[in-house]
Structure 1
Amino acid sequence: MKVHILDDWFDTLRGLPCFDLLKDHDVTVWTDHEPDEAKLAARLADADCVVLFRERTKVTRTLLDQLPTLRLISQRGAYPHVDVAACTDHGVLLCSNTGADGANYAAAELTFGLILSAMRQLPQQMASAKAGGWQMGVGRTLRGRTLGLYGYGKIGRAVADYARAFGMKVLWWASDAGLERARADGEPVAESREAFFAGSDVVSLHLRLTDTTRGIVTGADLAQMSPRSVLVNTSRAGLIAPGALLAGLNAGRPGMAAVDVFDTEPLTDAADPLLSHPNLIATPHIGFVTEDEFDKQFADIFDQVNAYAAGAPIHMINPDAAGQ
């Protein structure tokens, strides 16, 4: 099959063990992002299969209209960026392993790195030292402080393990089902949503972005947080109501935020009011960007390509498209 891989910005995949899984296919790797849909369609004109790099490119109905040879889209995880109904209408099968075993430890590690960075002022201290200013302030110790984790999933539980190793207290909030699982596991659950946000020195979000969770963290939630608290988000920007984080930082509640995700990505406007906020620590959506995590994720993705080529597709999201 003619397989096109999109958005491998640092040409990483060709150097990973998993890439050998595609040895029997005609593979094209695109190492830039093409935002113009017509130009993207021209690139993919001969594609039988498109491999998506997380959510970097949206697959719309109008794009699919221009790709008559496309039969398979292979990716991993959630797929809010893919018009599944349009895929089915065009006879394009979407395969995505949404129930992969194990936590995304790369994202969990980055989460805790951001917590440390915010509490110890690491970006600011580094900038001051490199500018010849030496120390610029006084950070805070994690031991004895409370980490509030919103979302009782695999990544959140991995972060909880790291926090406890640092002597932090852990407090949970989640959906009703998530809270029930937490209680069954003997985990400490906040008495109320208000108590969760008010009682946490650090709040970290670990929810999938769905229609139900979009905007689930509101301005009222952030207003409950202490002026010395930190909000961390390595999940999805859309979990926070539009404009609420910037308004909260401007109001001093929370006192600081450390985020890996933005409503617009890639965000390249250095003057963006959230990105440039003095109380924001930012990384450019690198929670999953490690060689180890890429090899694990793309092994699944390439296995899906091979399964389809063998006539036995796996992880089908829209199986009705398979027989078209």
Structure 2
Amino acid sequence: MKVHILDDWFNTLRELPCFSLLKGHDVTVWTDHESDEAALSARLAAAECIVLFRERTAVTRGLLERLPNLRLISQRGAWPHVDVDACTDSGVLLCSNTGADGVNYAAAELTFALILAAMRQLPQQMASAKAGRWQMGVGRTLRGRTLGLYGYGRIARAVADYARAFGMDVLWWASEEGRARASAAGLHVAQSRAAFFEQCDVVSLHLRLTSGTRGIVTGEDLGRMSPRSVLVNTSRAALITPGALLAALKAGRPGMAAVDVFESEPLTDANDALLSHPKLIATPHIGFVTEDEFDKQFADIFEQVNAYSAGVPIHMVNPSVFAR
């Protein structure tokens, strides 16, 4: 198959063990991001299979209509960036493993790194030291403080383990089903949504982005947070109502935010109002960006390509296409 891999910005995949799974396919790897739909369709004109690098490129109806040779899109995880109905109408099968075993420890580790960075003022202290000004302020200890985890998934549970090792108390909030599972596990669940946001020194979001969770964290929620609290988001920016985080930081509740995700990515405008806000610590969506995590995720993706090529596709999102 003619396989095109999009958005491998650092040309990482060719050096990983999983890349050998594509032996025998005609593989093209694109190491930049093309946002213009016409230019992107020209690149992919011969593609029979597109491999997506998480959510870096949106697959729209307009793009699909320009790709008559395309038969398969292979990716991993959720697919809010893919128009599944348009895929079905165009006869393109979408395969995505959403039930992979194991924990994304890379994302969990970055989450806790951002918590530490915010509470200990690490970016500011480092900048001050390099500028020859030595210390710039006084940070805060994690031990004895409360970490609120919104979402009862595998990543959140890994972050909870790290927090307990640092002597933090962990408070949970989630869907009704998630709260029930947390309670059954003997964990401390907040008495109410309002209490969750009010009582936590740090709130970290760990929800999948779906139609039901889009904008689930509102300006009212953020306004309940303490002026000394921190909001951490390594999941998806769209979990927060558009514009609410910037407005909350301007209002001083929470007092700081540490995020790995933005509403528009890649975000390269240094003057962006949120990115440049003095109370924001930011990383450029690197929660999953480790060699170890890439190898695990793309092994799944490449196995989907091989399964389709062998006539036995797996992890089909729109199986009616294959049934045709």
Q: TM-score, normalised by structure 2?
A: 0.99
Letter in 2 for 1:224: R
Partner residue in 2 for 1:187: 187
Q: Tell me how far 1:323 sits from its aligned partner.
A: 3.4
Residue 277 of structure 2 aligns with an amino acid whose one-letter code is: H
Measured in 2, the distance between the counterparts of 1:317 and 1:242 equals 28
Q: Which residue matches 2:282?
A: 282
- What is the correspondence of 1:24-39 to structure 2 with a 5 Å cutoff? 24-39=24-39
Distance 1:257 1:107 in 2: 17
Taking the TM superposition and a 5 Å limit, the aligned residue runs for 1:1-324 are 1-324=1-324
For 1:274 and 1:87, locate their aligned partners in 2 and report how far apart those are by CA, in whole Å.
34
CA distance in 2, matches of 1:214, 1:81: 13
Following superposition, the deviation at residue 268 of structure 1 comes to 0.6
Residues 101-150 of structure 1: CA distance to partner in whole angstroms, max 9, x if unpaired?
11111000000000000000000000000000000000000000000000
Amino acid at match of 2:195: A
User: Which residue identity is paired with 1:226?
Assistant: S
The CA deviation string for residues 260-286 of structure 1, in whole angstroms up to 9 with x for no partner, is: 000010011111110000000000000
- Residues 183-234 of structure 1: per-residue CA shift (max 9 Å, x gap): 0100100011111001000000000111111111111111111000000000
State the distance in 2 between where 1:10 and 1:80 align: 24
User: Which amino acid in the other structure matches residue 169 of structure 1?
Assistant: D
Question: Tell me, what secondary structure is at the counterpart of 2:3?
Answer: strand
User: Residues of 2 paired with 1:264 and 1:58: CA distance?
Assistant: 11
Instruction: Give the letter aligned to residue 29 of structure 1.
Output: V
CA shift digits 1:239-296 (9 cap, x unpaired): 1111111111001100000000000100111111100000000000000000000000
**Amino acid of the residue matched to residue 201 of structure 2?**
D
Partners of 1:249 and 1:39 lie apart in 2 by: 38
Question: What CA distance in whole angstroms lies between the structure 2 residues aligned with 1:203 and 1:158?
Answer: 15
Q: Which amino acid aligns with 2:87?
A: C
**C-alpha separation in 1, matches of 2:62 and 2:244:** 32
- SS in structure 2 opposite 1:73? strand
Q: CA RMSD in A?
A: 0.5
Letter in 1 for 2:23: K
* Partner SS state of residue 322, structure 1: helix
Structure 2: runs of 5 or more not aligned: none
Counterpart CA distance in 1 for 2:11 and 2:242 is: 33
Query: How many residues were matched structurally?
Result: 324
Query: 1:303 is matched by which residue type in structure 2?
Result: E
**d(CA) in 2 for partners of 1:103 and 1:187?**
19
CA distance in 1, matches of 2:131, 2:261: 28
TM-superposed CA distance for 1:24, in Å, is 1.0
2:198 alignment partner AA: A
Separation (CA, whole Å) in 1 of partners of 2:183 and 2:3: 46
3-state secondary structure, aligned to 2:58: coil
Shift of 1:55: 0.4
Identify unmatched segments of 5+ residues in structure 1: none
Q: 1:38 Cα shift?
A: 0.7
| Matching residue's letter, 1:231 | L
Task: Give the TM-score normalised by the residue count of structure 1.
Answer: 0.99
- What is the alpha-carbon distance in structure 1 between the residues aligned to residue 110 and residue 140 of structure 2? 19
Shift of 1:298: 0.1
Distance 2:178 2:234 in 1: 19
Q: Distance in 1 between matches of 2:218 and 2:66?
A: 39
Q: Distance in 1 between matches of 2:254 and 2:198?
A: 10
User: Secondary structure at the residue paired with 2:323?
Assistant: coil
Per-residue CA deviations over 1:29-52 (Å, capped at 9, x if unaligned) read: 000001111111111111110000
Task: Output the CA distance in 2 between the equivalents of 1:301 and 1:278.
Answer: 39
Which letter does structure 2 place at the counterpart of 1:69?
Answer: N
Find the aligned partners of 2:284 and 2:45 in 1 and give their Cα distance: 30
Aligned-residue sequence identity (percent) comes to 81
